Amino acid sequence: MTETERETAGAVRSAHVAHFFSPDWTQTAQRATGALERSDRELAAPQLIVTVPDSVSAIALARELRALPATVGLRVVPVTNATRGARLIKSAPPQVVVGTPAVLAELLAASALKLADVHTLLLAAADEYDAQAEPLGALMAELPRGSARILTASAPTQLVENLLERYLHKARRVAVPVVPPIPIAPGTPPTLYVRTVTSASTLAPLGELFDDIDPPSAAIVVADSRGEGQARSALEALGYPADSELITVSRGAVALHTALVVFVGLPEADSLTAALSAHPARLVALISSRQLEALRQLTKGVVLMPYERSRAARAAREREENNRNALRAVLALGLPAREIVALEPLLAEHDGLAIAGAALRMYERAAEEAATARLAGREELRAELKAARAEPKSADAAPDSRSPRSFDRDKPRGERSRSGPPQDRERSFGGPPRGERSFGGPPRGERTFGGPPRGERPPAKSGDRPFTRGARVDRGPSNSSRSSGPPSRGPKRDDKGRPPRREK
C-alpha cells in the first residue's frame, strides 16, 4: 500500500476527490468526464461549475471540455466578465459554466447565476488561487449541500491543504506517479529550447519557427489524436501536404538525425527519450508557462534554453528586405541607361555583385546623412522655438536695460540714480544736488533774513516790534516811517494811519 492510499483509506466513501498531476488542461477536462455524463441535457440550468485561476484559463479549459465526447448535447459557457456572462446565461442557460471565483461570486450577488441544480464543483488548478479566498467562500456558501467537489493541482501546497481541509474534508487523493528524470548519456548534455505559448495558440509559432530555422527535415511530436489533427491542420495552412516527407507528425517516433523536433505541449518521458535517441540537430518545446516547472523536473540533466527570435536580427532582415524591394521597383521601371554607362567600366576590374554592394553602401550612407541632417534641423528648430518662448518671459521679469534703477540703500540719497549706475551718473533736475541747492540765497545755515545771524542778534527792547522773518511784500506800503515806497492808492489817512471820519 502506497503512502497516498494509506492517507485516503478512511475516506473511500467520500464524494470529494483531489487529483495531483502536471498542469495540463486536457487532463483537467478528463477529470470532469463523470460529472459531464451525469448532467441532464433536458435541464436548462447550470449543473457543473468549474473554477479557474484567470480568464485565459477559462477559455482554454472550456475548449478542452467541448472536445470531450461526454460534452455532446451540453452547452459550455466560459465567463470572463460578469456583465457579459449574465447576458449569455439569460439568453441560453448553459449546463456547464467556467469562470474565476470572483466573476462567479459577482454573478451570484446579481442573481444572474443559480446553483440550485448544481451537482458537481470542479476547482481546477487550485494551487494558483492565491487571491481567490473571499469570492471562493461566497461561492461555496451557495453551493447545494450534497454536491460533489473535485480539486486538481500540481502539488499539495499549503494553499491546497487549506482548501482541502475547509471545503473537501476527507477527500480521496489520487496522485499521478511521479515520472523520474529521463536518462542522459554521459558527455555533453543535450539542449532543449523552450518557447512559452498560450493554451489558445500552441501551434501559432510553428510558421515563425520554420522560417527562422528552415530545417530540411522536421518532426512534430504530439500527445494524443486530437493534437495530431491540430498539427496536421496547422501544417496544411503553412503549405505542407498531408503526406509530406519534409515534416512528419507522430506521438513519439522520430527518425534518426532529424534536423528539428518540436514537442507540442509538455512531452512525455518516453517521447522525450525517443527523440534524444534520434540525435536531432535541435529540440524545441512549445509549452505554457504553467508547465515549465514540470518540464524542469522531467529533464534534469538537459540544458533548457529560452527560444526567442532576436529582435535585432529580425529588424536587420526587414531592413534588408526593404532595400531589395526598392531595387526591384527600380529595375521594374526599366534599365537605367545612364547609371549602366557610368558603372560599366568597373566590370573590367570588379565583379558585378561587388559593384552593386558598393552602390548600396553609398546609398545607405547618403540615407543616414540625410536622416542626420533632418534630425539636426529639428533640433535647431526646437532650440529656436524654445528661445522664442523664453524671450517674452525674460523681458517681463528683467527691468528695462535702457533705464536701470539703483536700489542701493546704503548710498546717500544724492548719489542714487534713476537713469544709470550711481557711480557713472549724477542726479540732475535743473540744478545742483539736493544738498547744494540755494533757492535764491545762501545755504540754510547762513541765511540772515534781514538781520544778523540768530546767535548774534541783540536782545530785544521793550516797545520794539517783535522779530519777523522779513518785510511783508504781499501788502501795499503803509504810511509808517519804515515805508519808503510811493503812497498807496486809497483814501487819505491821518497821522496815525486812520481813515477820515465820514460826516453825517
Distances from the Cα of 479 to the Cαs of 472, 486, 491, in angstroms? 14, 9, 12
Q: How confident is the model over 14-38, as a mean pLDDT? A: 89
Q: Which residue has the cell 566590370?
A: 347
Q: Nearest to residue 48, comparing CAs of 58, 38, 56? A: 38
Q: How confident is the model over 92-119, as a mean pLDDT? A: 93
Partnered with residue 206 across adjacent β-strands are none
Tell me if 93 sits within 8 A of 115, measured CB to CB: no
Q: How confident is the model over 261-283, as a mean pLDDT? A: 88
Q: Which option is the CATH number for 191-309: 3.40.50.720, 3.90.79.10, 3.40.50.300, 3.90.1150.10? A: 3.40.50.300
Does 358 have pLDDT greater than 90? Answer: no
Does 450 have pLDDT greater than 60? Answer: no
Best mean pLDDT range from 7-21, 108-122, 338-352 = 108-122
Does 317 have pLDDT greater than 80? Answer: no
Least confident of 154-158, 254-258, 375-379: 375-379
pLDDT at position 440:
55
- The residue among 413 and 364 whose pLDDT is bigger is 364
pTM over cut 0.75: no
pLDDT at position 121:
94
Which pLDDT tens digit goes with each residue over 34-84? Answer: 999 999 999 999 999 999 998 888 998 999 999 899 999 999 999 999 999
- The residue among 321 and 313 whose pLDDT is bigger is 321
- The residue among 17 and 396 whose pLDDT is bigger is 17
Q: How confident is the model at residue 498 (pLDDT cuts 50, 70, 90)?
A: confident
Does 5 have pLDDT greater than 50? Answer: no
Does 253 have pLDDT greater than 80? Answer: yes
50: its cell numbers:
468549474
Q: How confident is the model at residue 318 (pLDDT cuts 50, 70, 90)?
A: confident
Looking only at the bridges linking them, the beta strands covering 303-306 and 96-99 are unpaired
pLDDT at position 384:
84
pLDDT at position 14:
63
pLDDT at position 444:
58
Q: How confident is the model at residue 481 (pLDDT cuts 50, 70, 90)?
A: very low
Q: How confident is the model at residue 334 (pLDDT cuts 50, 70, 90)?
A: confident
- The residue among 486 and 156 whose pLDDT is bigger is 156
Q: How confident is the model over 158-181, as a mean pLDDT? A: 86
Q: How confident is the model over 413-433, as a mean pLDDT? A: 51
Residues of the chain with CATH 3.40.50.300: 3-175, 191-309
Does 124 have pLDDT greater than 90? Answer: yes
Best mean pLDDT range from 208-217, 329-338, 405-414, 466-475 = 208-217
Least confident of 130-139, 190-199, 270-279, 427-436: 427-436
Which pLDDT tens digit goes with each residue over 455-470? Answer: 555 555 555 555 555 5
Q: How confident is the model at residue 314 (pLDDT cuts 50, 70, 90)?
A: low
Q: How far apart are CA 97 and CA 74, in angstroms?
A: 11
Q: How confident is the model at residue 380 (pLDDT cuts 50, 70, 90)?
A: confident
490: its cell numbers:
486809497
Least confident of 306-315, 339-348, 353-362: 306-315
Q: How far apart are CA 231 and CA 271, in angstroms?
A: 16
pLDDT at position 304:
87
DSSP for 21-67, written as a single string: --S-HHHHHHTTHHHHHHS-TT--S--EEEE-SSHHHHHHHHHHHHT
Phi-psi region of 209 (alpha: psi -120 to 50; beta: other; left: phi over 0): alpha
- Write down the CATH superfamily of domain 3-175: P-loop containing nucleotide triphosphate hydrolases (3.40.50.300)
pLDDT at position 39:
93
pLDDT at position 383:
84
pLDDT at position 122:
95
DSSP for 168-200, written as a single string: STT-EEEEPPPPPPPP--SSSPPEEEEEE--GG
pLDDT at position 47:
94
DSSP 201: G
Q: How confident is the model over 195-199, as a mean pLDDT? A: 80
Q: How far apart are CA 336 and CA 344, in angstroms?
A: 12
Does 93 have pLDDT greater than 60? Answer: yes
pLDDT at position 310:
59
Look over the chain and give the mean of its residue pLDDT values, rounded to a whole number. 78
pLDDT at position 442:
57
- The residue among 213 and 418 whose pLDDT is bigger is 213
pLDDT at position 390:
80
Q: For the packed helices 101-109 and 133-142, what is the interaxial angle rounded to 10 degrees?
A: 50
pLDDT at position 447:
52
